Structure 1
Amino acid sequence: MRRLQRRERITDIDDGNQKCERNENINNKVSGDWSISGTKVVGPNGKEITNLVKPSCLAIAHHNPNLLLVGDDGAGKHVVFIYNISGTPVIVDTIGILGGIAAGTPWLVDSFKIWGYIKGVGTDNTGNIYVVFSLHNTNSDIRSSCIRSYSPDGNTLLWELANYHFVDNVAFDPTTDGKDLYSYIGHYKVDYSKTDPGTEWSQFGVTYNMDESDPRDDHAMGSIYFIWKNGKRYMFRHHEYGGDFTIYEFDDSPSELAHYIGVYDQFTDTYGKYVDDNGNIWEASQYNGVYKTPFLGTDEEGKPKFGPVEHWPMPEPMTNLQRIVYSPSEDAAYLTGYDEDFRIYGKNIHGVINAGPTVAVYDEWHTGNPKLRWIRRIPYWQPEIFGNEYGSVTAAAVDEAGDYFFIGYGIKDYSELPDVSGPTLLSEEVTRLHSKYNPSNGWVRVYRKSDGSIVGRMVPDSAVNYEMGWLDLRESLAAMQRSTGEYNLLVEEGWKARNILYRWCPDGTCMESDMSISMESPQNEELFYIDSTISFSATVNAGTSEITKVQFIAKINHKDSVLFEDETAPYQFDWEDAPKGDFTVFAKCFNSENASKQTPPVLIRVNDGNPYGRLSFNQKKTYFTFDSIVVSITGTDFDGTIDSTELFIDGVSVSQMGAAPFQYIWKSLMEGEHFIHAVVIDNDGKKGYTDTLDVKIFGNLPSVIIPQDAVNGLIYDYFHNSFGSINDMASADPIRNGFVKNISISNAIRRDNFGFYYYGYIKIPVSGLYTFYTNSDDGSVIYIDSIEIVNNDGLHAPQERSGSALLEAGVHYFSALFFEQGGGEEFDSYIKGPGFEKWKFPIRCYTVFCPIPCPSLR
């Protein structure tokens, strides 16, 4: 059987096949005098075929008018019946195996198993048989289909042409050295000894049952993560535009079927999700930092089971997060988004294809005190901000493997932009003239994990006719380092509906061989104390190779350092006087041809045995004396448990807690600046200390003096831009300003991508507690005396948020900000105070003032 390459056209195949004309209207329910009627096929002179379940298509054979081909899509069928219709119809042959892909070894691909809905059948003038099937149907949006050609006797598959994915990524199985790949509906095998592009892979299994309901029917486009947990295979699927994060559990081998078991929907303000090899779900919240939720498998009812959520506040200097990748072997988080020196612009430009202009990497993530390894800018250009010289240039997806960090560009990667130097890796040199679509779409940039320096780019070459479309997913890139040292990248691209596999060997020694190596010690996340001895041990299966040496390697300062080299078995080494810190270690064997194999990296920790602690507050920016603050203390002890904690405010112990959760409700707040820290104590009595946090508590906000010539009303600035948060407006320039008596967005010039900033004074007649409200779509905030009182920020449907302040009678500075990105637009503000309930703002007696000179409305 020959599997056609995508660039071949069926009409060019010289084997007697009938050519098809484009745009021909084909009725697959009728052929000659025969037609489908419900569950029957009816013909001339009262002839009927009734032994069918769900006939879907039919055709009179082109080479023999006495033969009728009928596709049956009924449950348990999924075959093509061939009838002799010269007299009473009688079956003379069957193409396919009854039951389709579910027959025999369930959902294992076979040349005679039909794995989709049968859409068309027919023959050519030599008797070759054709079957067209697809997973796309009235109840399914899946875009996978196949054309097969069988010999006239139906016993030989001559060729097939299939497409499997459209805007879908493919993921590596981390346990098989990249030899197994999974998509949302398929399982594929890869033979890396083959080097001709397109010949390495083959379809192995179908993971989707078209005879049962499945969320994949409605959400055909998206990304997946594949993991093993408790001896079972699991798949996580994220829709192209976010939303549902669905979870699937595979049947035990040899079945290939994956069943929907539930959905994960903890947080919604995130464009970045990631599932590490241990099954932890990581989320980069746009405005609230990082969340981690352990996936524990399934409960007694077969539903997904999750562990407690961990939260890290926004790490400085980042202000908005778009993507996250977590590396367990380094305990490092790779984050992209926007930092405090680069305001977010056009976050949603071109859908979700925007990872931001900034990459920041943090080590020792779980210690409670992550350390910034490096931060750098990546190519980024948006025409509404910088001009149209380059069009839109935005990264879409990120991943890490081995010594490198990879960034896939969803839309362009122009060399002329600042900081995009670097050689072309893997492929022949490519210029813009090579591409028949958009130049530089889908290029992958490679950076060193050690210091963030650029290595080069991976670009499409002649194997794909130099053609590449958009990376049209947030998680459109999957990277791994194989045991040979070779780096493999799977890149989704939306134009030609495919995934491209890049293979890259940085040092040129990545040869296939039958040797293998495993490391028995140390174990992953094993803890060692300073001055202890760390024993390394590796076992090598030589296969047909002659083993020349084994190296034990540790990454020190994020670079490989050979600790010991052993030329004879048993391969062992004792590392003495290891310094304090986290280390990624692995073993690597070499044969006489200098081919190598290495073990997966593991993380070891060398410390003094003291635990780590972390403080966090309930989410609020401004605290008043009438508030209560929930202080949470969490701790990590790598060789035991956290048994107790002690909380200090301004150096005074206020709470000792002996059982988790360690939370303290701080009431009766005093006005002024306060300093908070905590001590965590483990089961051995050792202590760890959190960072000290600075908290400012406000009392009555004093009034200010209003200009004598102020008049009723507010100044406003009006903006045109695609904002994603209120902070985005700080660096934008208004296109107009003016004066209004009341807050209203009715004078906006357009309905999407605009914002207002209102400011002036508010007169408060009576001292007391005042509550302010906004109801908005999208984001809004209110400031009193330059202090944030109401935070209703972000992209969302209409929602109300409120905040309170103690205000002294008199005049106070007032400002309100609102932005609208897309969809509906709505903004109303309200006030409640002593002696009155909630009223729309501003109202009688609560006058706003505009300082002179007030600009006239233009």
Structure 2
Amino acid sequence: ITAIAVSPDGKVYTNAPWDESGAEASTYENGKMLGFAGGTHGWGAGGGNAVAVNRHYVFLAIAMGNERGHLVGPGIWPQKGKQWFGVSRRKIEDPKLSALFQPALTLPNGALDPHAQLAAGFLMVNEVPAGAHADIQGLAASDTTLYVSNTAQNRIEVYDAESMQHKAQWTVHEPGKMALAADGTLWVITGALTDATPHVAHYSASGQLLADTLPLPADSVPVDIALDAHGRVLVADNGPRQQVLFFSKDGGRYVASGTLGERGGIFAGVAGQPGPQRFNGLTGVGVDAHDNVYVATNGIGPHYAPIGAGLGATLESYAPDGKRLWQVQGLLFVDGAWMDPARPDSVYTGNKRFQLDLSKPAGQDWKYVGFLSNRFRYPDDPVFHTDMWPGLPIARQLKGHTFLYLTDMYADHLKIYRFDAAHDGETAIPSGLIAGRERGVAGVPNAPPGGEWIWRDVNGDGKFTSDGFTPNTSGARIAGGWGWWIDSNGDIWRTNVNKGIYRLHFGGLDAKGNPVYAYSDMTTYPVPQPFTELRRAVYVPQTDSLYVTGYTADMPVDRAFWKEVGRVLVRYDNWSSGKPVLRYSITLPWETQAKPVVTIIGLTVEGQYVFAVEPVGAVHVFDKDSGKEVGVIRPGPEVGKASGWVDVPNGVSAYRRSNGEYLVFVEEDARGKVMMYRWKPA
């Protein structure tokens, strides 16, 4: 969620540039989702960063493209090579319905074209070359007037809310979120895109800058603004305070009159511990007629590149006395889960920790208890400087300490974290990073050029200083490939497509408590028979067994399916002896013409079994000693017997509990969650 608008009766309207299942613009009330607007996902459309409401309409900032020229229709989609940014007007009683203000085209059979209907309720504000950005960063509306922050053009534009005709405009430096006062004046966040410290300005209805100022703290980062029925100004501060700040007029000037939220937010006290009023990355604030305050967060704030989906959204409501009334969570995206080796019923995801209580019913058996990324204490954390989301976890206990290893959605690089609960609470402290290709790590502070380096936190402060980097001079380039695995002894296994398998040996812990890896302590294994291309390698030290997947001459690769593990799984025993023995070879499910497609996109080994997951979430279970399939785990009625896409190369993990029950975790990115299956073999 990057923007919210709140109606007087307490309905919350949201917007965001992207939601995997198409709910960019949604409506909530009393902690329940009432529905989503649609028309913001696919067929050229995308969501946006602003939303406003009046008594009749919902105004949504959206983007409109043409799918690289494949969508053609004058007035419905931009011409090839162009992109539109503007405002979609919807009916307040049902935001799925476009509120037309221009003629809609009809189909040959006389019916209204649904895309043309949306176009007839769309105000195009900016047309730019495809790939450029000119997003609308703020909207405000009365029953008669719509105000638009045309941020890229440094102006506020004014439109008639009924006819949507342009009425006026005035110059403002990078206008962002706005709030309309009862007297018709407008509060605006300026410098919304590039200023390190945005400001708040007050304008008359005709665009005259007023003398009013808000005494914002020097380190505040205002990201949204709202007004209540008493004329108080509410500012969402995404700086170190992580609070909503209240300002009231007293003696002709505005003074600070209160706050909502614990100072420091989720990072105060036990850093990373969530709870009421412990905000984390504010993106929106609103208030209803009863003075209930609504706060949206996403783990980092409204400008979250290059993290993609942010670090987990929440939307919550607070009564005037500060009591939390409700909260909804959208915490995970392209993310896996892995049991904490040091604590029973504790589960890590890419940047969160959850606590299980398996005595409770499905869906009530987990609780969010830890946020791992602390951008104020560890701003160099690679989660903020590498592309493609926080990562997919493998947690290992080495020499009595827990370490978290995270790979990204495209298996490019590997992040390593350590923990110090007494000093850092739930925070995962940057400890190491093994770089892959240059592009994925180009934003890492002080990184040497070219990728192919190892960084270790040699100073113990989580800062990426130049003395922590070691370039790869071994001659063996490990970048490229889909397989990362960290075995229970701490060795890192990297599977390259056609160059073989690399093993970085765990070299113990350094003086700062970081695991040590070096290119000089690396073993390279050639591509084993019968493979022509490799995809994954999972090593189990207890039996010296390596489970390898990929393609063979008889079962070749199909380049259209590039994240999958391959068509063949082989178990080799005595792997480290130099004379491995092929124990068995099995053919994995592979029906690329099926709908949905049947392949294997991820696998893991735990206890007595190999768990292999299809892109649509079905988990095949194989006996690890014989290779025989035991059965298939599929989504149950708790989730509508449906799973969205597994869209990551490490999207399944498993854990054998002391009572013999297995917990199997599967990434599910369509609706932003991790599926947890419980299975106890007979």
Alignment correspondent of 2:620:
445
Structure showing the higher strand proportion among its residues: 1
Q: Would the alpha carbon gap of residues 371 and 202 (structure 1) be closer, same or farther in structure 2, given more than 3 Å must change?
A: same
Q: Give matches, 1:558-573, under 5 Å.
A: none
Matched residue of 1:485: which SS? Answer: coil
CA contact (8 A) 1:39 1:50 kept: no
The CA distance in 2 between the partners of 1:397 and 1:136, in whole Å, is 32
Quick one: which amino acid aligns to residue 205 of structure 1?
G
List runs of 5+ in structure 1 lacking aligned partners: 1-5, 383-387, 411-440, 508-858
Alignment correspondent of 1:166:
333
| Matching residue within 32, 46, 54 for 2:220 | 54
Quick one: which amino acid aligns to residue 286 of structure 2?
G
CA drift at 1:367: 3.3
CA contact (8 A) 1:58 1:68 kept: no
CA drift at 1:469: 1.8
Q: Give matches, 1:147-166, under 5 Å.
A: 147-166=314-333
Q: Does 1:395 align with 2:600?
A: yes
Matched residue of 2:289: which SS? Answer: coil
Alignment correspondent of 2:272:
107
Q: Does 1:321 align with 2:534?
A: yes
CA contact (8 A) 2:340 2:395 kept: yes
Q: Does 1:455 align with 2:630?
A: yes
Alignment correspondent of 1:333:
546
Alignment correspondent of 2:665:
490
- CA deviations on 1:664-712 (whole Å, 9 max, x unpaired) are xxxxxxxxxxxxxxxxxxxxxxxxxxxxxxxxxxxxxxxxxxxxxxxxx
Q: Would the alpha carbon gap of residues 41 and 443 (structure 1) be closer, same or farther in structure 2, given more than 3 Å must change?
A: same
| Matching residue within 275, 281, 294 for 2:486 | 275
CA drift at 1:198: 1.7
Matched pairs, number: 459
Alignment correspondent of 2:557:
345
Q: Does 1:92 align with 2:240?
A: no
Matched residue of 1:296: which SS? Answer: coil
| Matching residue within 389, 405, 411 for 2:610 | 405
Quick one: which amino acid aligns to residue 491 of structure 1?
V
The CA distance in 2 between the partners of 1:294 and 1:22, in whole Å, is 57
| Structure 1 vs Structure 2 CA RMSD | 3.0
The CA distance in 1 between the partners of 2:480 and 2:202, in whole Å, is 59
Matched residue of 1:468: which SS? Answer: coil
Quick one: which amino acid aligns to residue 388 of structure 2?
A
Matched residue of 1:345: which SS? Answer: coil
- CA deviations on 1:42-90 (whole Å, 9 max, x unpaired) are 447632212323342344444x232221111223x11111222365323
Matched residue of 1:466: which SS? Answer: coil
Q: Does 1:36 align with 2:189?
A: yes
- CA deviations on 1:610-649 (whole Å, 9 max, x unpaired) are xxxxxxxxxxxxxxxxxxxxxxxxxxxxxxxxxxxxxxxx
CA drift at 1:320: 2.7
CA drift at 1:22: 6.0
CA drift at 1:371: 2.3
- CA deviations on 1:242-299 (whole Å, 9 max, x unpaired) are 3222222333446122233332256124321111222111123333443321233553
List runs of 5+ in structure 2 lacking aligned partners: 1-19, 36-52, 62-137, 140-175, 191-196, 204-209, 436-476
The CA distance in 1 between the partners of 2:595 and 2:570, in whole Å, is 25
CA drift at 1:40: 4.3
Matched residue of 2:678: which SS? Answer: strand
Q: Would the alpha carbon gap of residues 15 and 390 (structure 1) be closer, same or farther in structure 2, given more than 3 Å must change?
A: closer
The CA distance in 2 between the partners of 1:301 and 1:502, in whole Å, is 38
Q: Does 1:296 align with 2:497?
A: no
Q: Would the alpha carbon gap of residues 290 and 60 (structure 1) be closer, same or farther in structure 2, given more than 3 Å must change?
A: closer
CA contact (8 A) 2:223 2:238 kept: no
Q: Give matches, 1:133-212, under 5 Å.
A: 133-134=297-298, 135=300, 137-138=302-303, 140-142=305-307, 143=309, 144-177=311-344, 179-194=345-360, 196-211=361-376, 212=379
The CA distance in 2 between the partners of 1:47 and 1:389, in whole Å, is 64
Give the share of equivalent positions with the same residue, in percent: 27
The CA distance in 2 between the partners of 1:206 and 1:260, in whole Å, is 14
CA contact (8 A) 1:130 1:147 kept: no
Q: Does 1:24 align with 2:60?
A: yes
Q: Does 1:71 align with 2:236?
A: yes
CA drift at 1:492: 0.6
Q: Does 1:123 align with 2:287?
A: yes
Q: Does 1:256 align with 2:409?
A: no
CA drift at 1:474: 0.9
Matched residue of 1:284: which SS? Answer: strand
Quick one: which amino acid aligns to residue 331 of structure 1?
D
Q: Would the alpha carbon gap of residues 39 and 338 (structure 1) be closer, same or farther in structure 2, given more than 3 Å must change?
A: closer
Quick one: which amino acid aligns to residue 321 of structure 1?
L
Q: Would the alpha carbon gap of residues 17 and 277 (structure 1) be closer, same or farther in structure 2, given more than 3 Å must change?
A: closer
The CA distance in 2 between the partners of 1:280 and 1:123, in whole Å, is 52
TM-score normalised by structure 1 residue count: 0.50
CA drift at 1:302: 7.2
CA contact (8 A) 1:40 1:48 kept: no
Q: Give matches, 1:687-836, under 5 Å.
A: none
The CA distance in 1 between the partners of 2:317 and 2:178, in whole Å, is 22
Alignment correspondent of 1:220:
388
The CA distance in 1 between the partners of 2:614 and 2:532, in whole Å, is 22
The CA distance in 2 between the partners of 1:484 and 1:95, in whole Å, is 45
Alignment correspondent of 1:234:
403
CA contact (8 A) 2:215 2:254 kept: no
Alignment correspondent of 1:806:
none
- CA deviations on 1:100-141 (whole Å, 9 max, x unpaired) are 22211122222221121x211111222221011122543533
Alignment correspondent of 2:167:
none
CA drift at 1:496: 1.3
CA contact (8 A) 1:480 1:487 kept: yes
| Matching residue within 626, 631, 648 for 1:473 | 648
Quick one: which amino acid aligns to residue 246 of structure 1?
K
Matched residue of 1:181: which SS? Answer: strand
Matched residue of 2:641: which SS? Answer: coil
The CA distance in 2 between the partners of 1:362 and 1:285, in whole Å, is 18
The CA distance in 2 between the partners of 1:462 and 1:86, in whole Å, is 57
Q: Would the alpha carbon gap of residues 123 and 405 (structure 1) be closer, same or farther in structure 2, given more than 3 Å must change?
A: same
Matched residue of 1:463: which SS? Answer: helix
Matched residue of 1:366: which SS? Answer: helix
The CA distance in 2 between the partners of 1:304 and 1:341, in whole Å, is 41
Quick one: which amino acid aligns to residue 244 of structure 2?
V
The CA distance in 1 between the partners of 2:32 and 2:524, in whole Å, is 64
Alignment correspondent of 1:503:
678
The CA distance in 2 between the partners of 1:17 and 1:234, in whole Å, is 37
Alignment correspondent of 1:464:
639
- CA deviations on 1:755-790 (whole Å, 9 max, x unpaired) are xxxxxxxxxxxxxxxxxxxxxxxxxxxxxxxxxxxx
CA contact (8 A) 2:395 2:405 kept: yes
The CA distance in 1 between the partners of 2:539 and 2:481, in whole Å, is 16
CA drift at 1:355: 0.8
CA contact (8 A) 1:174 1:277 kept: no
CA contact (8 A) 1:40 1:50 kept: no
Matched residue of 2:506: which SS? Answer: strand
CA contact (8 A) 1:229 1:296 kept: no
Q: Would the alpha carbon gap of residues 329 and 29 (structure 1) be closer, same or farther in structure 2, given more than 3 Å must change?
A: same
The CA distance in 1 between the partners of 2:412 and 2:418, in whole Å, is 20
Quick one: which amino acid aligns to residue 29 of structure 1?
K
CA drift at 1:163: 1.5
CA contact (8 A) 1:148 1:157 kept: no
CA contact (8 A) 2:238 2:283 kept: no
Q: Would the alpha carbon gap of residues 153 and 16 (structure 1) be closer, same or farther in structure 2, given more than 3 Å must change?
A: farther
Alignment correspondent of 1:247:
416
CA drift at 1:443: 0.9
Quick one: which amino acid aligns to residue 41 of structure 1?
V
The CA distance in 1 between the partners of 2:277 and 2:481, in whole Å, is 44
Q: Would the alpha carbon gap of residues 147 and 368 (structure 1) be closer, same or farther in structure 2, given more than 3 Å must change?
A: closer
Q: Would the alpha carbon gap of residues 198 and 269 (structure 1) be closer, same or farther in structure 2, given more than 3 Å must change?
A: same
Quick one: which amino acid aligns to residue 318 of structure 2?
S
Q: Would the alpha carbon gap of residues 390 and 97 (structure 1) be closer, same or farther in structure 2, given more than 3 Å must change?
A: closer
Q: Which protein has the larger Cα radius of gyration, Structure 1 or Structure 2? A: 1
Alignment correspondent of 2:44:
none
Alignment correspondent of 1:360:
570
Q: Would the alpha carbon gap of residues 255 and 140 (structure 1) be closer, same or farther in structure 2, given more than 3 Å must change?
A: farther
